[in-house]
Chain A
Amino acid sequence: MEWKQRHVLDLDTWKREELHYILEQTSSMDELLDRPIKKVPALRGKLVVNLFFEPSTRTRVSFELAEKFLSADVVNWSASGSSIGKGETLRDTAWTLEAMGADAVVIRHGAVGAADYLARKLKKSVVFNGGDGAHSHPTQALLDLYTAWKKIGSLERKKIVMIGDVLHSRVARSDIIGFSKMGSRVVLSGPPTLMPRSVDALGATYDPDPRSAVKGADIIYLLRIQRERQDEGMFPSLDEYHQIFGANESLLKLAGADTIVMHPGPVNRGVEIASNVADGSQSMILGQVRSGVALRMALLFVCLGGVRQ
C-alpha cells in the first residue's frame, strides 16, 4: 500500500488498514530480531535525531536500538527541562536540527502538542512522537497492538480493560484510539479521581469496579501509578490503591485463564500489579518490550521511504 502518513504524531488520523500494514511490517522486523546478526542496511545514510526533553530509558533505548539495527546515523540530542527553561525555544531547536540535515526527529516532551508543534516547524524532517505530556504515545500503542495481535490474533470484538491512572496517561489515550480502531471494546477502571471527565469522548466506557470490569476481558492493561498522585491527594494511599484496584491473582481469576496482562513499564510492583501477576504466565510485559524495538524499526523504515516488496 502507498504510505500516506508523513509524521507519526498520534493515531487519531490513522485508518485500520494503516494499522494493519504496520503490524505486518513489524512482524517481518520481529523475525529479524531472531537472527544472529540483527543489523540491516535499510536506513544507511539517514540521520535520525533523538530529542528527549523528559527522562526516558525504555522509549529512548528502544528507538535507538531500532535506528541502529537499520543502520541509520543516530544522534542523541541532549535536552533538559522545557524549551523555555533551557533558554532556546523548541522552534530554534527544530530549525537547528533541520539545518544539520536530520531526516527524522524523535521527540519526547513534557508539553502536550510538542510533537505537533515540531512537525509544523519542520519543512522536511519526519517527526516521531515519543510521548507528549499526557496526550499521546503512538509508538507505545502500536507496539501494544502488535503484542496483542501476535498473541491472540484479530482484535475485533475483543475486550480490553485498562485499569489505573487514565487521567494522566498518554499511553491510555493512544491505546484507546488504537484498540478501538482495531475493533476492540475498551473499558476503563480505576478511582474516579483518576478518570478524565468525558470518557465517552474517547469511545470508551467506565466501570469503577475492576472486579466487574474484568469479566470476559481478553486483555487486562495496567497503567502505572505515579507516587506523586498520592501526594496530590488523588487517592488516599498506595496500599488502598493496591487493595482495590491492583491486579492480583484473584482479579486475574475473575477474568479467565486466557486473559493476557499488559503493562507499559516500568512496573510498580505491589501497587498497580502484584509481582506474581507481573511475572506470571499470562503476563506479556517482556513481549511488549521486544515488540517495541520491532515496531519502531517498522515505523522508521516505512516513514523514511523504505521499500519492501
Chain B
Amino acid sequence: MEPVIIGLVLGGMYALLAQSFVLTFVTTRTLNFAVGEFVAVGAFATLAVASWGWLPTVGKIAIGVLAAALLGALVYRFLVLPFTTQGEHDVRWLLSTVAVSFVLLNLMNNVEGPSPQRSETAKLDGAVDLLGVGVSKQQLLLAALALVISLGLIAVTQRTSIGLVMRAVSQDPDTTSLMGVSPRVVGMGSYAVAMGLAGLAGILYAANVGASPVMGEPLLVASIAVAIVGGLGSLWGPLVGGALYGVLSQVASYQWGAVWGETAGLLLVIAVLVWKPEGLLGRRAEVKL
C-alpha cells in the first residue's frame, strides 16, 4: 500500500508541472523546455519578499506566481512566437526555449549562487498518516493543489468563453484571428498561466528542498513523462499520467531499488508512445488532404 500512496502523492506533484506543458501545448502547439527554471524563478521571487513581514503568506506566494507568469508571457511573445511563423513544421521554438533555460540558469546561478537556500514560505512541517502511511504534508499539499488546479482548468476550458477561445485558437488560429480573437494574446495568456503554475510548484517544493537554480531540473524528466503518458492534448492527462507514473516508479523503487524507479516510469512512456502515441487521454488528430 505504501508505494501506491507515496506514488500517488509524488505523481500529483509531477502532474502540477505537467499541466504547464499541456496548457501551452493545447493552445500554442509549443512546449517550454525552460519550465524547470520557471520553477526556480517562482521560488526565488517568493524568497526575495519572504522577509516582508507586513505581507501575508498568500501575498508572497502571489508575487512568486506573478513573476513567473509575467516572465512566461514575455518569453512567449519574444522568444517563442517569432519562431513559429513558418507553419506547423517550424520547430525553432524548441531551440529558443532551451536557450531560455540556459540563460535563466546562468542568471540565477550568478545572482543567487548554486547552493539551496532555505525557504519557509508556505512550509508545512511533518507528516500525516494516510491509510497507515506517513506522507509529507508538503508533498500532500502539492498533490492536492494539482488536483484542484487541474479540475479548475478543465472547468474553465469546458464551461467558459475563455475556454472556448483557447480551444478555437488551438484548432485553427488563422480562422480565429479573422473573427477578432488574437492568437498572440491567447498564447501569452496560456504561457502566463502555465509558467505561473510552474512558479507555484517551485514555491511549494522549495519549502521542502530549498530554493536553488537547479531545483526544477530533477522534476523535469518526470513531468514531461507524465504529460506524454496522459496526453499532451488533454488537461485530464496529467492527473492520469501522474498517478500511473508515480505509482509505477514507486512500486519499482520499493520492489527492486530506487535505481529502477525512474527507469520503470520511462519504460511506461515508451510503451505509451508505441501503443498510443497521442497519450492515454489524447485525441489522434486527423488531417484531411
A binds B: no
Binding site for B on A (CB under 8 A): none
